[in-house]
Amino acid sequence: MDDAANSGISEPLDLVKLSLGERVFIKLRGDRTVTGLLHAYDAHMNVVLSQVEETIHIVDVTEDGNPLPPRVEKRSLEMLFVRGDGVILISPTQQ
């Protein structure tokens, strides 16, 4: 079975395919991460997610240029299209 599973995987995106319909964790450029149910993807890593929770890591800077401790902002979205050029990594959520 292991062989059979591996023989069908010929390119990296085949692994992403295995996560279709599953919750995935996506790291994006701009200090953002997103988790959601993977509905679709393409060769450009464009991705459609549902039940999304987006997490944005923000470091505010005071007027004299000192960084404040990083804070995290979250928002939830019903459905989300993620453009592929921002995607850094896709992984199944650990549970």
Partner 1 sequence: MSGFFGFDTSLPERGGQRGPGGGQQHFSGFQASNVDETFALGGAGEEEDLAVYTWGEGGMGGGGLLEGGDELNDETFGDDLGEINNNFQFSSQPATAPPTVKGKIASTQSRYKPKPVSDPFAFSEDDFYSSRPSKKTTTAKAPSRPKPSTGQSGSVENLWNKPAVSSPAWGTAPSAMTKLTPPPSASFPSQPPAPGHIKSLEEIEAEMAQMAIPSTSTAAPTQQKVFSLEEIEKQMMEQIEPPRQATPQQPAPPREATPTQVPGLAGSGYASQQALLDSMFPELGKGPSALGGLAPAFPPGPRQEGQSQPSQPPQPSPEELARMEELHKRITSKIQSMAKYNNLMGSSDKDFITRIQLSQLATADPYTSDFYAQVFSALKRSRMIAEGQGDGPTVVQVGAGMGLGVGGPVGNRFGKMGQNTMTKLSTQVKKLVENRAQHQKITNTAALQGALGRVTRGNAAAPRPVLAIPTSNKPENRPASQLNQQTGIHRAALTKKQVMFALEELYDAILELEQMRREAPPPTAMEEIEIWHAKCQAKVDIIWRRLMVMEPLDISIPHPFISLVNPIKGQKLFPRLLRHLPHTQSITLLSLLIATYTQLDVVFRAPPPPVADASLLTKADRLDRVKREAETDSFLQFVIPGVDMIINRCGLGLVAGMLAISAQRSEVWRVAATRPGVALYTALLSKAQSLIRSPTPDPMNPQQNQQVDPAELEQWSKTFTYFLHVLLPHLNDLFPSSVAQKAAFGPGAYLIGGDAVSDREGQEMERREAEVWGFVAVLAVNAAEEDQTNLVAALREKILHTVQSSRHPNVSPARAEMKLRNVNMFLNGLGLDASMIE
Pair of tokens at residue 62? 């005071």
CB of 65 to partner 1, least distance (A): 35
CB of 5 to partner 1, least distance (A): 4
Where in 11-30 is the site for partner 1 (CB under 8 A)?
17-22
Q: Which letter, b or e, does each residue of 42-67 get, where b requires 16 or more Cβ atoms within 10 Å of its Cβ?
A: eeebebbbeebebbeeeeeeeeeeee
Beta partners for 41? 47
Pair of tokens at residue 82? 């993620």
Q: What is the Cα–Cα distance from 81 to 33, expressed in whole angstroms?
A: 14
Q: Kindly write out the interface string for residues 27-46 of this chain, putting x where it contacts partner 1 by CB under 8 A and - elsewhere.
A: -------------x------
CB of 1 to partner 1, least distance (A): 5
Q: Does 5 bind partner 1 (CB under 8 A)?
A: yes
**From 8, 71, 72, 77, residue interacting with partner 1 (rule: CB under 8 A):** 8
The residues of the shown chain that bind partner 1, judged by CB under 8 A, are: 1-5, 7-9, 17-22, 40, 95
